[in-house]
Amino acid sequence: MAALKELFDLTGRVAVVTGGSSGLGLQMADALAEFGARVVICARKPERFAAAEARLRAWGGEVLSVACDVSRPEQVHALHAQVMERFGGIDVLVNNAGRAWVAPVEEMPLERWQQVFDLNITAPFLLAQAFGREMIRQKKGSIINIASIAGLVGRNPDAYNSIAYGSSKGALVNFTRDLAVKWARHQIRVNAICPGFFVTDINRKVYDERPEKIDREIPLGKPGGDSDIKGAAVWLASDASRFVTGAIIPVDGGTTAW
């Protein structure tokens, strides 16, 4: 029987975190590095890499940063090649990169709808396909999709009004369940974290415009903080969750419990 600390240990494992240079992605990358993982962060804005790398290297592990638009197949292929050349394998894929476009449904531009879907659901498919082939060969792996409570329930438009975001995250939730079933035979676990409202670069303006309305939607009365998603990420990446697949886990201050 393994000791609990051993179950959470990620020493030597390779974890790819998309959108890992800021926000929730950096929070999760930091947690994985703290528990010993070798972390690859990819994002579209390489100017953020230096600060993110310094934070992760403080834990004493290896860090690789790759500039990548994960909604573009050729860039996903290049990312895959760099990871394999540097580390020779992958243990954990965190599909975190995402975007939203806030607008009333009747005014949502089709172009923006498509951009949201390209990053929020097509990109996780491309990444799971590219790195999943390696996991199938290895007969092991953990994929963690960062969905949203917006993909589980309808949202009050006075608090957050993005039909494209909620629809794409709902697709990601069912992508998680279906992929978990299809790849269980390969010992690949696929789970999703559904964050509630966390103040990040992607939604800071929305929160600043209506903090009281948003806080009222959360039973704990406040958005998630800068360490509040770390535990779920480490748990799903590690052997502590080795009998967990197809799970959809809200980290939302109780919002979906209303």
Which residues are known catalytic residues?
A: 165
- State how far the Cα of 12 lies from the Cα of 70, in Å rounded to an integer: 25
CB 105 within 8 A of CB 84: no
Q: Which residues touch 124 (CB under 8 Å, ≥6 apart)?
A: 95, 145, 172, 175
Q: What is the DSSP string of the chain?
A: ---HHHHH--TT-EEEEETTTSHHHHHHHHHHHHTT-EEEEEES-GGGHHHHHHHHHTTT--EEEEE--TTSHHHHHHHHHHHHHHHS--SEEEE-------B-GGG--HHHHHHHHIIIIIHHHHHHHHHHHHHHHHT-EEEEEE--GGGTS---TTT--BHHHHHHHHHHHHHHHHHHHHHGGGTEEEEEEEE--B--TTTHHHHHH-HHHHHHTSTTSS-B-TTTTHHHHHHHHSGGGTT--S-EEEESTTGGG-
Q: Which residues touch 69 (CB under 8 Å, ≥6 apart)?
A: 44, 75
CA 68 to chain centre: 15
